[in-house]
Amino acid sequence: MTNVAAVIVTYNRADKLGKVVENVLAQDRPADQVIIVDNASTDSTAEVLAAYEGRPTVTVERLSENTGGAGGFAHGMSLAYEQGADFVWIMDDDCYADSDALRTLLDGHARAEDSMGMRLPFACSVVRWTDGDICEMNNPEPTWDWGKLLARGEQSVLVNSCSFVSVMFPRWALTQFGLPLAEYFIWFDDQEYTRRLSKAGPGVQVLTSGVLHDLGVNRGVNFGDVNAGNMWKFEYGVRNEASYRWHHEDAFAALRFAQRLFSGLRGGGVPWPLRRRLARKWVEGIRFDPKPRFPRTVL
């Protein structure tokens, strides 16, 4: 039987985490193992997780330091792989999966593989915001022939990349391509990873699989929104994307990213000191080129 591991990474989200875990445990096709990675939370996350300790399918991993979403996912996926998972389904700690999200992902992925006659390296869900609209932060990028499966009667579209909010990877993708880059810490780790996997073929967004992303506001990444409070996240994002564009695409892609970055900053009227800090991060990205780790086969 196919062994599916669900991996949830959490950091200081005690208020939402319980609902996330409950939704995963209540799947009509249950995950065979649920791995919750606590990124050294400092709120009451431990108390929330205490309720799940001892459940036969649940593993709680408490990390000694916050490794960011990227480190948490790399850790949880590695553990799932070691424990013999055939598929790893991952999500953030503010993602409420519909009760059939996993089953439809598995079915949609299998049907898409049959239809395409090839292995597909990931399958993601449709991510809704709290008002039922599409969640702007989590829109996958479609391929040029994205409608191919729709034309064949499948409820799926082909994609190049997606976010880590309800995406499922088959084991072979981890064997061949390794784990997400923990060094990215946060932002663009999902884009880098799914684009890395897309070398083996497109991913698929299964339109019948849905989750709700409980974000405060429904807004994608926009460099015009940079301020002193959210600057730390944008710093990671700029460094990571510059690194990806330079090292995994080409110098022109990195320069186009710089142009997009600075026109966004200018459009938002972001103060010059912050712009300069992001410029330095862009330069840092050129020197920053982490290599993927590969999970270890245990079972």
Partner 1 sequence: MGVDVYQLVEEPDWFSALSPRESRLLQGALAYHTLVRPGQRVRLTVLRTDGPHPPSLTDQSTTRIEWPSDRTVVGTIEAQATGTPVSATAAVDVVVDLGGPPESLMRLERPPGRVHEVRSAVRARIPVAFDVARQKRTDRLENRRLSRPIPRVGRSQTRGTGSASGSPRAVLFGLHWLELGGAEKWAAETVGMARDAGLVPIVLSDRPSGHPDIARPVFDDALVIPLSHPMTGEQESRLLSDLFRRFDVRGVHVHHCTWLYNRLPWIRAHYPGTSLVDSLHVLEWRTGGFVDIALRMSNVMDSHHVISPQLRDYLVDRQGLPREKVSLATLADLTVDPAGSPAVAAAPRAPGAPLTVAFVGRFTQQKRPYLFLRLAARLHKRLGDRVRFVMHGDGELAAEVRADHARLGLAGVVELRGTGRPVADTLAEADVLVISSDNEGVTLTSFEADAHGVLVLSADVGSQASVVPEAMLVPRAPLAFLAAAERAVVQLCDDPGLAARLLLQQRSRVDAFAALPRARDWTRALYERWAS
Question: 32 or 92: whose CB is closer to partner 1?
Answer: 32
If one asks whether residue 296 binds partner 1 (CB under 8 A), the answer comes out as yes
List alpha helices for the chain, DSSP H: 14-25, 45-50, 68-82, 101-116, 148-151, 171-177, 189-197, 231-244, 251-267, 272-287
Q: Determine which residue in the list 26, 172, 227, 263 makes contact with partner 1, applying CB under 8 A.
A: 172
Residue 84, by phi and psi: left (phi above 0), alpha (psi -120 to 50) or beta?
left
If one asks whether residue 299 binds partner 1 (CB under 8 A), the answer comes out as yes
Contact track, partner 1, 74-93, x by CB under 8 A: --------x-x---------
Q: Determine which residue in the list 22, 47, 99, 119 makes contact with partner 1, applying CB under 8 A.
A: 119
Integer Cα distance of 231 and 281 in angstroms? 11
Question: 170 or 237: whose CB is closer to partner 1?
Answer: 170
Integer Cα distance of 201 and 112 in angstroms? 12
Overall residue count recorded for the chain in this entry: 299
* Tally of CB atoms within 10 A around 299: 8
Stretch that binds partner 1, among 10-18, 168-176, 248-256, 276-284 (CB under 8 A): 168-176
Q: Determine which residue in the list 57, 176, 208, 218 makes contact with partner 1, applying CB under 8 A.
A: 176
Integer Cα distance of 5 and 19 in angstroms? 18
Question: 228 or 299: whose CB is closer to partner 1?
Answer: 299
**What residue ranges bind partner 1 (CB under 8 A)?**
82, 84, 119, 171-172, 174-176, 296-299
